Structure 1
Amino acid sequence: MLFRILSSVLVILWSTGVFAQADWRVEVAVADSITGGPLPYVNVQVANSPQGGMTDENGIYRFTTRREELTLLVSSVGYEAFRQRVRLEEDPTVKITVRLVPVAATLETVTVSSNNAAERLARPVMGVEQLNIREIELLPVALGEVDVFRGLQLVSGVNSAGEASNGLSIRGGTVDQNLVLQDGAPVFTPTHLFGLFSVFTPDAVGSVDLYRANIPAQFGGRIASVVDVRTRNPTSDHLKLQGGIGLVSSRLSVETPVTRDKSLKLLVAARAGLNDFVFKAFDRLKNTRSKFGDATIKLRYQAGENDMLTFSGFYSRDFYELDLINRFAGVIARSNQYDYSTTNGSLEWLHVFWRRNLLTQVVRSDHQPKVIFPEVDAANEVIYRSGILYHGLTSKLEFGDEAGHRLTAGIQLAHYQLSPGELSPGSSTNVTAVSLQREQAMEISGFVEDEWQIGSKLTVSAGLRYTQFARLGPGEQRFYEDIERLSGGTSAVTTFGEGSLMQSYGGLEPRIGLSYQVGPQTSLKASYALNRQYLQNIFNSTTPLPSSRWKVSDNNILPQRSHLYSLGAYQLLGEAYELSLEGYHRDISNLLEYKPGADFFLSPDVETDLLQGQGRTYGGELSLRKTGGLFRGEVNYTYARAFNRVDGPGLTTQINGGDWYRGYFDQPHTVNTHFTFDDQRTHRVSLNLVVQSNRPYSVPNGYLPIGNLTVPIFLERNNARLPLYHRLDVSWTIHNPGMRHRRWIGDWTLTVYNLYGRKNAYNIYYQPRDSGENAQIFGSSPLASYQLTIFGSPIVSLSYSFKFE
C-alpha cells in the first residue's frame, strides 16, 4: 500500500515538472560578418562546461544541454573572439547565429582553451599559459624585433638564459629540457642572432601554447615544458599583404586563395636581416658579422565536406662571425664562423565527423649546424659539422559524448638520426679528419586523455602516456668499472650492426589535473605529471651553442625523469581582473651534469666526462592581470629555487662533495610587469619592468702558481651569484597616422630597450694579471675578475609595419 502511494506521488511530481529537466537542442551557425559565408571548422565552446567542438563544413555546430543559461564562446584564427550569454526559453530547439568579425593584425590572438577567464577558471589545467600575440607585438624588445620568446619571459616561472643566450629556463629547468615545436616538428635551435630573439617568422605565427605543469598526454620527451607554436591558417578570400621594415630585419607576408573555388589557400611569410652595419658602430664589434633569415609557407586545401589537408614548411638560416682567436687540434683560427640551418616540413590531414575529429600528421625536422675556422695566414678553412634529423608520425582521435567527456587518444612514432660530429681539415696538414659514428633511436608512444565534469563543481583531467624507447645500431656499447671510468678506460666493448637493438627504456607517464570551483569566481586546482627525457643536449656552458652536441640515451646515459606536483588558487575580481597563485615541486632523477674541465668536442666517449645526479626545483607564482579597458597590464612575482646533487663514488664523480648546490637557473626572486595604454585610435604606449635575482656562477676558491702562470682553482660549483638584474623598456606605436580608412594601413613603432642603461652582468670571469696592473682595483691578488655586459646602454629602434588588402 505504501509503495503504491509513493509511486503515485512520484508520478504526480514528475508530471507537474518538479523533477522534470528539459533538454534543449542547440544549433550554432557561424558566418563571416563581411561576406556572410559560413565558416567551417571553427572552435565552439560552452564556458564552464566540457561541451564543445568544431563547426561542420556548413559552419554548423549542434549540441544538447540541460542548462537554462549558458555562455557561448566562438573563436577562429583570423577573427575576433566571440562571447555571448544565452538564456534558453521554452522552445526545445534553439538556433543561434554568430557572425565573426575579421581582424587585420600582424599576429593573431592565441587561444589555449578559450580566450575567456571563466573557462580558464573551470578547466582542470595548470601551468598552461594563454598568450595574446598582438600584445607581444607591442612589447618593447631589443632592436625592436617582434618575438615570441620575449613575450614568454614576462610569464611567471619563465626566465631567459641570458640576454644573448639560446633558449628559456622554465621553472628552474635547463634549456634542453623544453620541447619547442612548430606545427608539430621540433626546433632544436630556436633563436637568431646570438640568441637575441626566436626564429619563428612573426607574420606567420598563429598560436603559442606554453605547458609547464600537467603537460597533455599527447606531448612527451622533455621534463620541463612544451612550447607549441602553430602557424596561422590562410583564411582570406582575397589578396592580403603585410610586412615591416626595421633596423635589424625586414619582413613580408602574402596570403591569397590559389584556386577559383577558393578551396586551396596559401600563406607565405619571410624575414631577413643583415646586421653588419650595426656592429661597425662599436669598436669592439667592428669585425663581427651577422645575417639571418627565416621563411614559412602554408597551404590549406579543403578536400571535401569533411576533410582538410594542410602542408606547412619552415626554413631558418643563421651566419655569424666572432673575431675570437681559437686554438684546437694544431689550428690557429682568426675567427669563429657559425653557420646553421633548420628545415622543417609538416603534412596534416583532418577528418571531421559527428562529434569526432581524426587528425593525422607527418613531420620532418632537419637541423644542420656548422662551425668554420679560417686559418691564420692561410686561405684554408677547417670545418666542423654535426646534425640531427627527426621524423615523426602522430594520429589522434578527439571526441565528446553526452555525459560531458572530452576524450583524446592516439599513437606516435618518432625516429632520431644524429651526426655527433665531423671535422674536415681541408688542405691543412696539421689537422686529422674525424668522423664520429652516427646514432639513431626510435620512440613508440600511445596516449589517452579524458576531461570530464563530475557534478557542478569538480572537473577532472586524467591522461596516460606510454613510451617505449630503443637505441638502435650501428654503434658500440661501452661498459665501465667505477675505478676505470675515472680515467676513461673501458672493461668491455660490444659492437652492434645496423638496426639492431642496443638499449631500451620505457614506462608509463600519468598526468592528472583537478579543478574544484568553490564559487562562481573562485577555484582550486591540483595536478601531477611524470615525464621522461631520452634526448639530451650536452654542453658545459650556461647555454648551448647551435653546434652543441645532442646525445640519445644509452647504457651509460640514462633518461632524465621528473615528478611534478602543483597546487593553485584562482580568483576573478570583477570583469577585468584575474588573480592566480600556483605552487610547484619537481623531483628529477638522472639529471645531466659534467665533470670539471669536460671537453665534448669530437669526443667518441662523451660519457666519461658526464655525470648524472638528482635535481629538485620548487617555488610559487603570483599573478595579477587586468584584461579590459584602455589601460591593461599584469604584475607577476615568482619565487623559484633549483638545486642539484651529484654524489658519485669518488672525488671526480662528485660535485661540491656530494652536497646539494644551486642549479644554473636558481633565481629566487623575479618580478615581471607589463602595462599598455591604448586609446583605441592612434596611440599605444607600452612598458615592461623586469627585476630578478641573477644566475649563480662559480668563484675560484684559490689559485695555484705554475711557473709564471697563475691558475685559478675551482673546488665548488655555483658558489656565488651575479648582481641583481633589472631593466625598463618602453615602446610607442602610432597606428595609421593619417586616420583614413584605406586599403594600406601603416604603423610606426619607437622602442627603447634598457631605458636607463643598466649594465647588467651576463657573466663574471677570472684570469691571471700582472702584479702592477689595475692595482687600485685588485690590490695584490694574482687574479683579476671582469664583468661581461651585453647591453650596457639604451638601445633605440624604429620600425614601420604595414597591412594591405
Structure 2
Amino acid sequence: MKLPFLTFLFLLCTGLLAQETYLVTINVDDAETREPLSYVSLQVLGTGEGGITDETGRWNIRLLKGGYTFVASFIGYGNDTLSVTIDEPQTLNIRLISASATLSTVTVTTNDARDRLERPLMGVERLNIKQIEALPLALGEVDVFKGLQLISGVSSAGEASNGLSVRGGTIDQNLLLLDGAPLFTPTHLFGLFSIFTPDAVGSVNLYRANIPARYGGRLASVVNVQTRSPNTRNFKLQGGIGLVSSRLAVEAPLTRDGRLQVLAAGRFGFNDFLFGLVERLRNTKSRFADGSLKLRYLANDKNIFTFSGFYSKDFYQIDLLNSFGGIVATSNQYDYKTLNGTMDWLRVINDRTSFLTKVISANHNPRILFPQEASDAVIEYGSGISYNAVEASLDYRSASGHHLSGGAQLVRYDLQPGQLDPGGSPAISFTELPAEQALELTFFAEDEWTVGEALTLSAGLRYTRFSQIGPGTLRSYEPGEELLEETLVGTTEVGAGTPLTTYDGFEPRLGLSLKLTDRLRFKAAYAVTRQYLQNIYNSTTPLPTSRWLLSNQHVVPQQANLFTAGFYQLLGDKGLEFSLEGYYRKIDNLLEYKPGADFFLDPTVETDVLQGQGQAYGFELGMTKTAGAVTSSVNYTYARVRNRVKGDNFNTTVNRGEWYNGYFDQPHTFNGTLGWDDGKTHRVGFNLVVQSNRPFTEPNGVIELDGNVVPLFLERNNARLPLYHRLDFSWTIHNPHMKKSRWVGDWTFTAYNIYGHRNAYNIYYLPRLGSGDEEVFLDSPLASYKLTIFGAPIVSLSYSFKFE
C-alpha cells in the first residue's frame, strides 16, 4: 500500500510543480499627477498574498493562471480594486485618487473615456499639467488658461485678456479657485498668461453645466485648480529657464518617516529688456513672480493635515497712457499682489466615510502709481478685497450605489473700494471710500446615485443667505426716478454688524446619465446659480485694479437658470470619443453700465449701473482621440449671447430696449489639435483656432464740438471685429542623451501664430494720421485703426529639467 500512495503523492507534486506561474508587475501612481506612490499596501483577495510597492511604486508577484482581484490602499487616498485574468506575464497600472480630492466634489476621477461616458456629469473637463505642457503656447509659457481655451465653449476677450469667457459669460462670472481659495486677478504680464505656478499644478477641473452644489457665487462656471500633493520619499528638484520666466520647484520629505512632506515652487519673470527691443515700448516695464507652497502631514491612518499657500506679485509700467481718472502722470504703474492660504483637515472615519474641515483666506491688493513730472511726488490709488471662510463637509459612499456629500460654509467679505493718497502732490487731496462688508452662509447637499446599469442620477441643493452688513450707508432716491445724485433724498447710517440688505435663495442642481447602448449615453442637466459679488469695469476686459462690488440695496444679485443636454459615444477601441452638447442659459438682473460710466473713486456706483436680461445658447460638437502615438481633438462651437436692458428712459435703456449682442457673442469657433509622441524622446504638437471675433461699438456718425470732430456712439456692440485665426506649433525633445540619469532635461521650441496673422484686438477712432494704415470713416477727418497684440510669429525656446 505504501508504494501506490507514494507514487500518487509524487505524481501530484510533479503536477503542481509543473503548473506554470506568471510574473505580474503592478505599478501604482497618483491619478492626478501620475507620480509613482511608494509603500502602497496591495492584497490579492482570497489568496492571503500581499505586499507593498517599492520606492518606484512597483510590486512584483508570481501567480498561477486564473482570475484575481487586487486591492490597493494608501493613507490619504481612496482604495481601488482591479480584477483581471492572468494567463501570461502582465504589467498592471492602478491609479489612486487623493481622499481630499474625492471628498471635495463629485468630479471626473480619471481621464478614462469609459468613466467620462458613465458619470452623470455634463460640461465637465479635466486637464492635468502633462496635457497642458504638451500645448504650443505663446512665449513658451505653460499656461492653464490657454489650455482651457482650446475646450469648446471657452474663449478669451483677446490675446491680452484678463480671464476667460465660458459659454458667453463675462469674465467675472467664473469662480476661479486654487486649492479652494478664490483668485480675483488671475493673470500676469498684461493678461497674457495665468498666474498658476506651473510646477505646482496637479489638475484643473472646469465645470460649466451641472455645477456641484458645494460651489456657488458665480453664474457661468467654476475653474478648480489643485496643486499637486508631495508624494515622495526622496528629494526632487525641477524647473526651467525660458524667454519670459524662470522657475524652480523642490519636493522632499521633512521627517525621517516621510509623514511630513513639502512642495515649494516659484516662478520669476523680468521682461524689461524685451520691451526695450521695440522703440515704441522702450519705457514699458514688466516684472512678476508667483510661488506655491504645500505641506502635507500624515498624522496616522485616519488623519491628514494639508496647508496650501500661494503668493503672486506683479508690476508693470505703461507710458503710452498718461492720464487716468483725471490724474496726469509721466506713466501709469500697476502694482498688485495676491496672498492666499488654505488649511485642510481630512478625517477618514472608515472605508466609506470621511470628514473634511477647511479654513480659507484670500487677499488681493491692487495699486496704481502716478509719478509726477518734475517732482518726486507719486500719487497712489489703492483698493483691496479680502475673503475669509470656514467650511465643513461630510462624504459617504453607500453599498447601495449612493455617493452622498453635504456641508456648510461661512464667508466674510471685506472690500476697500478705493483710496487716493496724494503722495506729496499739492494738487491732490486724500480721498477714501467707505469700506464694504458682507456675510454669506451656505448649506449644501448632493447625492450621486447609480440606480441601475442603465441609469445614474445626481441631485444637489444649495441654500445661500447673503447679507451686506455695517458699518455702512443706506441711500434713498426719489421713488420711480432714475438713480442720480440729483434724485438722492437722504442717507441712513448703519452700525457695525447690522444688516443693510439681505438676499437668500435655493439653487437646485440636477444631472442624469442614461445608457442607450454599451457605447452611447444621453445626459441632461439643470442648474440655478446666483452671483453676489461683481467686478465692475467700463471696458471689455477688466484691469487688475478694476473695482469689486457687493450686491446691495440697489444692485440686485444676478441669477441664471442653465439647461443642458447631449449625447456621448465611444467609437471603436482606439480611445475615440464623440460628443454633442447643447445649452441654454437665462440670466435675470444682468449687470450693465450707462454710457460713459466711471467708477474711479465713485461713492454712488449704483447711479452708473444698469440691470437687465441676458441669454446664452448654442451647441458644441467634439471628437477626441486619446490613445496611441498620434492624438487629436476637433471641436466646433456655435454660441450666441444676447442682452436686453429696457429702462424707464433713454439713460437707463440700451439700444432702444431691444436685444443686442453681448460682449462675448462669438457665434462660430473651431479648435483643432494634433499631437505625436514617439514615447521616447520627441513630442510634436499643432493647434489651430478659427473664431468669430467679439462685438465692438462702432460710431453711428460724427459731430463737431468746439472745432473738433468726435465720433458719435448711439448703439452698443453694433459691429464685429474681423475673423480671428492662428496656427501654433511646439516640439519637445525629452532627455536628448537618452540615458537613464537622475538629471533629465527637456528642450521645447514653440511658435505661436506661425503665419503671423494680425488679429484685431480692438478698433478705435482718431483723426487721420496719414500713416497709410487707417481706414477713412464716413468721409470725415476721422479714421479707424486696428490694434493688434501679436502681429508676427512669436518664437521661443525653453529648457526644463528634473532631478531626483
Pair 1:350 & 2:346 matched: yes
Pair 1:226 & 2:210 matched: no
Pair 1:461 & 2:475 matched: no
1:289 corresponding residue in structure 2:
285
Structure 1 residues 289 and 35: CA distance shift in structure 2, 3 A: closer
2:522 corresponding residue in structure 1:
524
Q: What amino acid does structure 2 have at the position aligned with 1:397?
A: L
Pair 1:139 & 2:138 matched: no
1:666 corresponding residue in structure 2:
665
Q: What amino acid does structure 2 have at the position aligned with 1:558?
A: V
Q: What amino acid does structure 2 have at the position aligned with 1:433?
A: F
Structure 1 residues 184 and 241: CA distance shift in structure 2, 3 A: same
Percent identical among aligned pairs is 57
Task: Find the aligned partners of 2:683 and 2:440 in 1 and give their Cα distance.
Answer: 48
Equivalent in 165, 168, 179 of residue 169 of structure 1: 165
Partner SS state of residue 481, structure 2? helix
1:616 corresponding residue in structure 2:
615
Task: Find the aligned partners of 1:588 and 1:779 in 2 and give their Cα distance.
Answer: 37
Structure 1 residues 154 and 72: CA distance shift in structure 2, 3 A: farther
Task: Find the aligned partners of 1:270 and 1:493 in 2 and give their Cα distance.
Answer: 49
State whether residues 568 and 579 of structure 2, in contact with CA within 8 Å, keep that contact through their aligned partners in structure 1.
yes
Structure 1 residues 85 and 155: CA distance shift in structure 2, 3 A: farther
Equivalent in 441, 445, 448 of residue 445 of structure 2: 448
Q: What amino acid does structure 1 have at the position aligned with 2:553?
A: N
Task: Find the aligned partners of 2:773 and 2:298 in 1 and give their Cα distance.
Answer: 71
Task: Find the aligned partners of 1:611 and 1:778 in 2 and give their Cα distance.
Answer: 31
Structure 1 residues 743 and 413: CA distance shift in structure 2, 3 A: same
Aligned pairs (5 A) from 1:733-772: 733-769=732-768
Task: Find the aligned partners of 1:194 and 1:328 in 2 and give their Cα distance.
Answer: 17
State whether residues 77 and 206 of structure 1, in contact with CA within 8 Å, keep that contact through their aligned partners in structure 2.
no
RMSD: 2.8
Task: Find the aligned partners of 1:247 and 1:192 in 2 and give their Cα distance.
Answer: 15
Show CA shifts across 1:673-718 (max 9, x none): 1111111111111010000000000000011101211121111000
Structure 1 residues 501 and 743: CA distance shift in structure 2, 3 A: same
Partner SS state of residue 742, structure 1? coil
1:551 corresponding residue in structure 2:
549
Partner SS state of residue 740, structure 1? coil
Structure 1 residues 37 and 321: CA distance shift in structure 2, 3 A: closer
Q: Cα distance, 1:781 vs. partner? A: 1.5
Structure 1 residues 78 and 249: CA distance shift in structure 2, 3 A: farther
2:693 corresponding residue in structure 1:
694
Q: What amino acid does structure 2 have at the position aligned with 1:268?
A: A
Task: Find the aligned partners of 2:124 and 2:786 in 1 and give their Cα distance.
Answer: 36
Partner SS state of residue 568, structure 1? strand
State whether residues 329 and 431 of structure 1, in contact with CA within 8 Å, keep that contact through their aligned partners in structure 2.
no
2:490 corresponding residue in structure 1:
492
Q: Cα distance, 1:782 vs. partner? A: 2.3
Task: Find the aligned partners of 2:477 and 2:390 in 1 and give their Cα distance.
Answer: 36
Task: Find the aligned partners of 1:775 and 1:570 in 2 and give their Cα distance.
Answer: 48
Q: Cα distance, 1:86 vs. partner? A: 3.7
Q: What amino acid does structure 2 have at the position aligned with 1:539?
A: Y
Task: Find the aligned partners of 2:458 and 2:629 in 1 and give their Cα distance.
Answer: 36
Task: Find the aligned partners of 1:504 and 1:797 in 2 and give their Cα distance.
Answer: 52
State whether residues 486 and 653 of structure 1, in contact with CA within 8 Å, keep that contact through their aligned partners in structure 2.
no
The count of residues paired between Structure 1 and Structure 2 equals 739
Pair 1:601 & 2:561 matched: no
Task: Find the aligned partners of 2:444 and 2:187 in 1 and give their Cα distance.
Answer: 31
Partner SS state of residue 760, structure 2? coil
Task: Find the aligned partners of 1:97 and 1:631 in 2 and give their Cα distance.
Answer: 23
Show CA shifts across 1:553-576 (max 9, x none): 001000000000000100000121
Aligned pairs (5 A) from 1:109-124: 112-124=108-120
1:384 corresponding residue in structure 2:
381
Aligned pairs (5 A) from 1:141-156: 141-156=137-152
Structure 1 residues 600 and 778: CA distance shift in structure 2, 3 A: closer
Task: Find the aligned partners of 2:692 and 2:446 in 1 and give their Cα distance.
Answer: 38
Q: Cα distance, 1:327 vs. partner? A: 3.2
Partner SS state of residue 176, structure 1? helix
Task: Find the aligned partners of 2:247 and 2:468 in 1 and give their Cα distance.
Answer: 42
State whether residues 771 and 782 of structure 1, in contact with CA within 8 Å, keep that contact through their aligned partners in structure 2.
no
Task: Find the aligned partners of 1:487 and 1:35 in 2 and give their Cα distance.
Answer: 64
2:16 corresponding residue in structure 1:
none
State whether residues 746 and 801 of structure 2, in contact with CA within 8 Å, keep that contact through their aligned partners in structure 1.
yes
Gaps of 5+ in 2: 1-25, 43-52, 58-65, 98-104
Show CA shifts across 1:766-788 (max 9, x none): 12348999898558322211000
Pair 1:505 & 2:503 matched: yes
Partner SS state of residue 651, structure 2? helix
Structure 1 residues 742 and 518: CA distance shift in structure 2, 3 A: same
Q: What amino acid does structure 1 have at the position aligned with 2:580?
A: L
1:39 corresponding residue in structure 2:
40
1:657 corresponding residue in structure 2:
656
Please report the TM-score for the alignment, with normalisation by the length of structure 1.
Answer: 0.88
Show CA shifts across 1:735-788 (max 9, x none): 100000010000000000000000000000112348999898558322211000
State whether residues 108 and 115 of structure 2, in contact with CA within 8 Å, keep that contact through their aligned partners in structure 1.
no
State whether residues 670 and 692 of structure 1, in contact with CA within 8 Å, keep that contact through their aligned partners in structure 2.
yes
Pair 1:408 & 2:405 matched: yes
- Please say which of residues 479-488 and 428-437 is displaced more in the overlay: 479-488
Q: Cα distance, 1:132 vs. partner? A: 3.5
Partner SS state of residue 229, structure 2? coil
Task: Find the aligned partners of 1:776 and 1:121 in 2 and give their Cα distance.
Answer: 51
Aligned pairs (5 A) from 1:181-192: 181-192=177-188
Please report the TM-score for the alignment, with normalisation by the length of structure 2.
Answer: 0.88
Task: Find the aligned partners of 1:36 and 1:381 in 2 and give their Cα distance.
Answer: 54
* Moved >6 Å (runs of 4+): 32-36, 68-79, 96-99, 770-776
State whether residues 530 and 561 of structure 1, in contact with CA within 8 Å, keep that contact through their aligned partners in structure 2.
yes
Gaps of 5+ in 1: 1-28, 43-54, 60-67, 89-95, 104-109
1:560 corresponding residue in structure 2:
558
Q: Cα distance, 1:484 vs. partner? A: 4.6
Task: Find the aligned partners of 1:35 and 1:618 in 2 and give their Cα distance.
Answer: 43
Task: Find the aligned partners of 1:129 and 1:565 in 2 and give their Cα distance.
Answer: 18
Aligned pairs (5 A) from 1:535-546: 535-546=533-544
Show CA shifts across 1:621-674 (max 9, x none): 011000000100100110010010000000000000000000000000000111
1:475 corresponding residue in structure 2:
472
Q: What amino acid does structure 1 have at the position aligned with 2:168?
A: G
Task: Find the aligned partners of 2:253 and 2:467 in 1 and give their Cα distance.
Answer: 44
Structure 1 residues 732 and 98: CA distance shift in structure 2, 3 A: closer
Q: What amino acid does structure 1 have at the position aligned with 2:695?
A: P
Task: Find the aligned partners of 2:92 and 2:612 in 1 and give their Cα distance.
Answer: 56
Task: Find the aligned partners of 2:642 and 2:71 in 1 and give their Cα distance.
Answer: 43
Q: What amino acid does structure 1 have at the position aligned with 2:223?
A: V
Structure 1 residues 325 and 453: CA distance shift in structure 2, 3 A: closer
